[in-house]
Structure 1
Amino acid sequence: MNTKIKNVNTNNERVGEVASIFNRNGVWYINMQIRGKQMRKSLKTSNKKEARARALALERELLKGDTVKTVESEPVLITDAIEALIQSCKTEELRPKTISKYRQVLKDVAEFAESRNLYKLEQLDVRFVDAYRQYRKQKGAKPKTIYTEVGVIRRLLLFAKTRRMLNEDPLDGLKLTEPKTEPQPFWNWDELELILESSSKVHRPVFTFLAETGLRIGELRWLTWDDVDLKQGLIHIRPKDNWTTKTGNVRSIPISDRARGVLQKQPRHSRWVFTARASPKYPQGDHQVSERRLLESLKRTLKKLKLKGHLHTFRHSFISRAIVQGIPEAIIRTWVGHVDHKTLQHYTHIANRESQAAMRRLNRPDA
C-alpha cells in the first residue's frame, strides 16, 4: 500500500454569506452551499482581490436564484468539509484543545486519503476506514487511539450530513468494538511517599500538590492565586483566559494540611501558583511550569525506584486512596470532576481487595 503522505491545504477564506474562495494551482475558485448542493467554480483569476469581487457578485446572483443552473454541482471535498466542521466547532466554543485534536486527526485523515487518490467526502467509506485503521496500526498507534480517531471521522461525516453535504452516511452500518480500558497504574501510600522523598527538590512541591488534590496537570499549571482561598480552605478549579477545564465545569477542592503547607511556602511573585525557575527567556521566573520538564523529572525518579507511572498517576493514586479510605463516590466526584465509570469500578475493586487484606490481618492468629 502506498503510504507516501502529501501536504494538504485546508485553508479557506469566507468572503460573503455563503461563499468562500480558495486557491488551487495559482487560480482562485468559489465554493458555496446553495439549496443543499455544493457549488464550485473557477473565478478565472490569479488576483485575490479580483477573486473576492467576482465571488461576491456571483453569490448575489445565486442567492437571487438567477443563475443557479449555470453552476455545476460537484461532490464535496474532504478538505472543505473539514474546514466547515472546524469553523462550526469554534462557533460552538468547544475547548481549544478539542478543536486542535480534531484538526490534527482530520489533517492526517485527509493526507492519508490523498495518498490513495481520494478527495471526495463520500469516499470516506467503510473500506477507507478499514485501510486507515490498518495504516495507523502499522504506525504503532494504540487500539484506543485508533478507536478515537475513527470517532472523529464519524463526527465529520455526521456533521456533513446535517449540513446536506452528503445525502447518505458512507459509514452507515460500521460497528466498532471499543477497546478494553487498560488498568491505569497507581501507587500505594508507601510508594507515593518514597516518590516524593526521592524527587527533585525543585519539583517536589508540584508532585506533592498533585498527590494531595487529585488535580490534572493542566489544572495545576493554570491555577492562580485568585483560585486559592486559604481562609475558606478551598481551591477553585475554573476556566480562565483561553483555558477551560476538561468538561468546562467549575469545582472546589478542600485544602488538606499538607497541601496548605505547600501553598504557604510558594512565592507570590506571579499570578500563577506554581512557576518554573528563571531562565534567559523568563528572567523573572514568573511563567507557568512545563509539563514536559515535570514529566522528565518524574520519570528519572521512577526509573531510580523501578516504579511505573506518569504525572496522571498522582490523580489515579489520589482517587484510589480516597476509595480505600471509604470516601463516598459522590464526594470524590465533586473533588476530582469527571471520572470514567470504568475507572471508578477499577478503583472500587482495589478498595475491596484492600478491605479483604485488612480482614485477613485482623483475623490472623497471634504467633
Structure 2
Amino acid sequence: MPRKYKKGDEPEKHQCQFFNWPIYQRKSGVWYADGRSNGACLKRTSLGSKDRDEAISNLHRLDRVQAENLGLVPRSRSDPGKKRLTLTAGRKLFDDHNERPILVGGTKPSTRKRYRAILDKFLQFALTIRISEWNQITERTLSEYAKHLADLGYARKTIYGELNLLKTAFKWLCNEGHIDREPLKLKLRKAECERAYCYTSEEVNAMLTHCAETKPLGWLYGVITALACTGLRIGELASLKWSDIRFHDRTLTIADESGFSDQQGSDRRSTKSSRSRHIPLRNELHALLESLPQTEAYVFRGPRGGRLKPDTVRNILVREVIEILTPRFPKKFAGQRSFADGRLHSLRHYFCSVCANTGIPERIVMEWLGHADSEMVRHYYHLNDEESRRKMDQLPPIGDIPDGEKDNGEDDDLAAAS
C-alpha cells in the first residue's frame, strides 16, 4: 500500500510524460519520487539531489527510463554513460586530462599532486552526503562543502582554491560531454589572504650578524644574503648552479628546463611561472659568490657541505635564528605580527618592500620575482604610493571646509527643513 501522508505533509505531485509522480524530501534533504501509485511495480526512488530543481530534472529522466523498462516506448539510443558519471570515473578522466604534456596544456607534477589531494578530500565528503555521481553535484553541494571546510578551520584562501578547482573539473566534464549538465554557476569571492611577515632592515641585519658570529651558521649567512638580495624562492636558490652565474655581466639566471629533451625528468629544473628569468647581481651578492668555492655544480651547500635542502633551511632558520633573536624584537601590541612570525618567505617580501621604497618600477620587480601578476607586489607599491600621500596631505584640516562647500551644505539644510 502507498504510504499515507500526514496532513500538511502531502508530497508534491508532478505529471511527467508517462507517469504521475509524488515527490517528497526526506530528513536528510534528499528528494525522492514515489511511483507506487502508478502500479506496474514502480517503487520509491531517490532523485539523487537535495536541490529541488535538479531533482525535478532527474525525475523527468526517471520517468523516461521507467517507461522504457516497461516497454511503453523504445529505448533511447543516447549513450547513458554520458548522462551519469560516477565520482571515481569522472575524477580519473580529469586526472588523465591534467597529465597531458605541459606543451599542450598539462600541469606540472607538483600541481597534479595538489589537485589529487583536493579531489580526494571532496570525494570523501561527497560520500557522507550520499552523492556518488558528478550529475548530483549542485551549487548547494559546493556551498555545503565550503561550510564543512570552514568548520574544520581551513583558511578562506584554501577554501576558495578548492572550490575553484571543483568548478573547473565540473566545467571540463560538462564541456567534454561526460555529463549532461551546465557548468556550475556558484560565484566565489576571492579571499584576501594574510601575507607573510615582512622583515625590517634592522631584523635582516641582525640575522646576518648572528649567522656571521656563529660558526656553525656560516652557510646560512650566504643563504639569507642571497634571498634578501634577489627575492628568490628557497627552491630556486637550492637549485642554482654555477653555470647560471655570469660574472662578466653580473647576472644570474633562474632556469626553467621543463622543455628540455636532453635531461632526465628528475634533473630538470622548473619555475613556478614555467619560464626562465634573469636577475642582476647586487654588489653584496656578487662579492659573496666570488668568495664561495666552485667545487660542486650547485652554488649553495647545506650545513654539512651536501646539497642544500629547503626543509633543512626552514627548520634551522626558525630554531637557530628566529627563536634566539625574538627577544630583541618583541611584539608592540597584542595580536600584532612580529619578527617571531617571520619565515624564509618573509625575505621575499623584504626584497619586494625594499624595491618599492627605493623606487624600482613595479614592472621590473615583477620580472625579477617571476610574476605576471602579483597581489603581493602591488601591496608594497601601494604602501609606498607617494602620489597618494601627497593627495592626502592636500586635504584641509578637520573643520576647515572651503567656503563654497560650506554654503552648499547650508542650502541643503534649509531645503530639508522646508
TM-score, normalization: structure 1? 0.70
Matched positions, count: 284
> How well do the aligned residues superpose, as a CA RMSD in angstroms?
2.8
Whose relative contact order is higher, 1 or 2, with alpha carbons under 8 Å and at least 6 apart?
1
**Whole-angstrom CA distance in 2 between matches of 1:238 and 1:168:** 43
Rg bigger for which structure? Answer: 2
Structure 2 residue aligned with 1:129 = 142
| Equivalent position SS for 2:253 | strand
Post-superposition shift, 1:120?
0.6
One-letter amino acid of the structure 1 residue matched with residue 113 of structure 2 = S
- Give the conservation status (yes or no) of the 8 Å contact 1:125–1:170: no
Instruction: Identify unmatched segments of 5+ residues in structure 2.
Output: 1-27, 29-75, 212-216, 258-266, 327-338, 394-418
1:272 touches 1:286 (CA, 8 Å); kept in 2?
A: no
Work out whether residues 236 and 251 of structure 1, in 8 Å CA contact, stay in contact via their aligned partners in 2. Answer: yes
On the 8 A contact 1:227/1:236 being kept in 2, the answer is: yes
- Most deviating of 237-246 and 247-256: 237-246
The aligned residue for residue 90 of structure 1 is 99
**Aligned residue type for 1:303:** E
CA distance in 1, matches of 2:202, 2:362: 24
The structural deviation recorded for 1:129 is 1.2
Name the counterpart of 1:192. 204
Q: Is contact 1:143-1:179 (8 Å) kept? A: yes
Aligned to 2:114: 101
Q: Structure 2 residue aligned with 1:204, among 195, 202, 221? A: 221
Against the structure 1 CA distance between its residues 356 and 164, is the aligned structure 2 distance closer, same or farther, given a 3 Å change threshold? closer
Shift of the alpha carbon at 1:326? 0.9
Structure 2 partner of 1:112: 125
Q: Shift in Å at residue 340 of structure 1?
A: 4.3
Q: In the TM superposition, what are the counterparts of 1:236-275 in structure 2 within 5 Å?
A: 236-240=253-257, 241-275=267-301
**SS in structure 2 of the partner of residue 321 of structure 1:** helix
For the Cα contact (< 8 Å) 2:277–2:370, is it kept in 1? Answer: yes
Q: 1:313 to 1:181 in 2, by over 3 A?
A: same
Matched AA of 1:192: V
Tell whether 2:252 aligns with 1:235.
yes
- The one-letter code sitting in structure 1 at the alignment partner of 2:310 is E
Task: After TM superposition, give the deviation of residue 355 of structure 1 in Å.
Answer: 11
| Residue 71 to residue 246, structure 1, CA distance change in 2 (3 Å) | closer
SS at match of 1:202: helix
> Which residue is equivalent to 1:146?
159
1:71, distance to aligned residue in structure 2 (A) = 8.3
Q: CA deviation at 1:125?
A: 1.8
Aligned residue type for 1:332: V
User: Do the aligned partners of 1:77 and 1:121 also contact (CA within 8 Å) in 2?
Assistant: yes
2:280 partner amino acid: P
Amino acid at match of 1:223: L
Partner Cα separation in structure 2 for residue 337 and residue 209 of structure 1: 16
From the superposition, tell whether residues 354 and 204 of structure 1 become closer, same or farther in structure 2 (CA, over 3 Å).
farther
Aligned residue number for residue 294 of structure 1: 313
Q: 2:198·2:349 contact (CA, 8 Å) conserved in 1?
A: yes
Following TM superposition, by how much is the alpha carbon of 1:333 offset from its aligned partner in structure 2, in angstroms? 2.1
Alignment of 1:1-367 (within 5 A): 73=81, 75-93=84-102, 94-169=107-182, 171=184, 173-199=185-211, 200-240=217-257, 241-278=267-304, 285-287=305-307, 289-300=308-319, 301-306=321-326, 307=339, 308-338=341-371, 340-352=373-385
- Please tell me the residue identity of whatever aligns with 1:327: I
CA distance, structure 2, for counterparts of residue 339 and residue 187 of structure 1:
24
AA paired with 1:207?
Answer: I
Cα distance in structure 2, aligned partners of 1:333 and 1:100: 27
**Preserved CA contact (<8 Å) 1:323 1:329:** yes
The one-character-per-residue Cα deviations of 1:230-288 (angstroms, maximum 9, x if unpaired) are 1221111121334311111211000112112222233334322223244xxxxxx543x
Q: In structure 2, how many angstroms separate the alpha carbons of the residues matched to 1:178 and 1:333? A: 21
- Whole-angstrom CA distance in 1 between matches of 2:183 and 2:77: 27
> Which residue does 1:43 correspond to in 2?
none
Give the 3-state SS of the residue equivalent to 1:253 in structure 2.
strand
CA distance in 2, matches of 1:334, 1:88: 30
Q: Give, in whole Å, the separation in 2 of the partners of 1:242 and 1:146.
A: 32
SS in 1 for 2:293: coil
1:174 offset after TM fit, Å? 0.8
Change (3 A) 1:134 1:243: farther
> Residues 169 and 275 (structure 1 numbering): CA distance in 2 closer, same or farther, change over 3 Å?
farther
Counterpart amino acid of residue 248 in structure 2 = K
Q: In 1, Cα distance between the equivalents of 2:354 and 2:143?
A: 42
- State the partner residue of 1:7: none
Q: Which amino acid aligns with 1:80?
A: A
Identity %: 27
Cα distance in structure 1, aligned partners of 2:78 and 2:140? 35
**Cα distance in structure 2, aligned partners of 1:80 and 1:129:** 19
Q: Do 2:219 and 2:301's aligned partners in 1 also have CA atoms closer than 8 Å?
A: no
Cα 1:243–1:102 change in 2 (3 A) is: farther
Please state whether the residue corresponding to 1:273 is helix, strand or coil: coil
- Check the 8 A contact 2:277/2:367 in 1, yes or no: yes
Cα deviation for residue 139 of structure 1 reads 2.1
Q: Tell me the alpha carbon deviations over residues 174-217 of structure 1, each in whole angstroms, 9 at most, x when there is no partner.
A: 11211123344212222211122224323221111000111111
Check the 8 A contact 1:324/1:354 in 2, yes or no.
Answer: no
